[in-house]
Amino acid sequence: MKQWVLLLALSTCAFDLFGQSELSRSHSNVYVEAGGNGGFLSGNFERVFYLAEAFGTSSRVGLATTPSSDKSTFWGVNTPLTQSLLYGNGTQLEIGGGVTVIWSDGQKAESDPRTIYTGIFGGRYQNYETGLLFIVSFTPFFLEGEFAYWYGLSLGMMIDRKRQSSFRTN
């Protein structure tokens, strides 16, 4: 699990430090996701880097809640960490993967956090004038040899829109 987190962190830094010569070729989003990689409900921060006009990558970290396994009133806490490739302008295809770290199962904090490997296959719409972000995704999970799937629906905003005006238009 540590290798995946380290790989995600290093790739994010590499794109930010070496892959971008213009500030306008990247932006940040914040969004809420129902379902998806985080489980039940998550708040997310995402950094998007454009490598070409219609091709980019995004790195995301979130904080999520999940109902406890015994249906008690306490909710579990987990963190989705993902990396995706994006293709298209405005309306984009998203393919990616990552891990979701489970810190608490709703009963107690995990002494050794569990890791779920997850994928992302979906579509997204980003309006570069208003900053609106809308994402629909299929998110398969792999945990201890078991396969499951989930769907996600996200709504959010670009938080550094002024830096985009010279690069992207709808």
- Tell me, yes or no, whether 127 lies in a domain: yes
Give the CA distances from residue 168 to residues 93, 108, 163, in Å, rounded to whole numbers and listed in that order.
17, 46, 10
Q: How far apart are CA 158 and CA 132, in angstroms?
A: 7
The C-alpha R_g of the chain, in whole angstroms, comes to 16
- Tell me, yes or no, whether 46 lies in a domain: yes
- Tell me, yes or no, whether 34 lies in a domain: yes
- Tell me, yes or no, whether 47 lies in a domain: yes
Supply the pLDDT for residue 102: 84
Give the torsion sign (CA, 91, 30, 26, 169).
positive
Q: Which of 59, 60, 55 is nearest to 44 (CA)?
A: 60
**Residue 75 in this model has a pLDDT that exceeds 90:** no
Q: How far apart are CA 29 and CA 58, in angstroms?
A: 10
119 bridge partner residues: 97
| Weakest mean pLDDT among 75-79, 115-119, 129-133 | 75-79
Q: How far apart are CA 117 and CA 122, in angstroms?
A: 17
Supply the pLDDT for residue 21: 44
- Print the domain residue range for 70: 2-163
- Tell me, yes or no, whether 7 lies in a domain: yes
Provide the domain count of the chain: 1
Residue 94 sits in a domain whose CATH number is 2.40.160.20
The residue that leads in pLDDT, 76 or 98, is: 98
- Tell me, yes or no, whether 114 lies in a domain: yes
The residue that leads in pLDDT, 68 or 59, is: 59
Q: Which of 94, 90, 91, 88 is nearest to 36 (CA)?
A: 94
* 5-61 tens-digit pLDDT: 544 554 555 445 444 444 457 899 999 999 999 888 999 999 999 988 889 999 999
The residue that leads in pLDDT, 69 or 156, is: 156
- Tell me, yes or no, whether 169 lies in a domain: no
**Residue 169 in this model has a pLDDT that exceeds 60:** no
Evaluate whether 96 touches 117 at the Cβ level (below 8 Å).
no
- Tell me, yes or no, whether 138 lies in a domain: yes
